[in-house]
């Protein structure tokens, strides 16, 4: 493994979005994380999966939409 990439890993973090005053949605985001500083940035694949495989704004369970859809 290259020394430059030793402290970098992919992980999944929970995100919470307020859609209304009374309605909150939680979903998983794919992030690239620096393990030394705990800095992370959302990976573009998260948005791609949400837009191409999520059926509605309230449905983030992409696997069930592919299997059951």
Please say whether the beta carbons of 35 and 7 come within 8 A.
Answer: yes
What pLDDT, on a 0 to 100 scale, did the predictor assign at position 61?
A: 55
Q: Would you list the DSSP string of 7-32?
A: TEEEEEEEEEEESSSS-EEEEEEEEE
Reduced to 3 states (helix: H, G, I; strand: E, B; else coil), residue 42 is: strand
Distance, in Å, from the CA atom of 31 to the CA atom of 29, rounded to the nearest integer, reads: 6
Would the pTM of this model clear 0.85, i.e. be above it?
no
Question: Nearest 5 degrees, angle CA 30-CA 68-CA 20?
Answer: 55
What pLDDT, on a 0 to 100 scale, did the predictor assign at position 2?
A: 63
What is the pLDDT confidence band of residue 59, given thresholds at 50, 70 and 90? Answer: low
What pLDDT, on a 0 to 100 scale, did the predictor assign at position 32?
A: 93
Tens digits of residue pLDDT in 2-44? 677 788 899 999 888 787 778 887 878 899 999 889 899 999 9
């Amino acid at each position: 493994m290259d020394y430059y990439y030793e402290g970098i890993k992919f992980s999944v973090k929970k995100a919470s979005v307020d859609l209304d005053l009374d309605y909150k949605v939680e979903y998983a985001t794919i992030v690239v994380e620096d393990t030394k500083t705990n800095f992370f940035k959302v990976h573009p694949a998260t948005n791609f999966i949400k837009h191409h495989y999520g059926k509605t704004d309230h449905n983030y369970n992409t696997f069930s939409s592919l299997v059951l859809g």
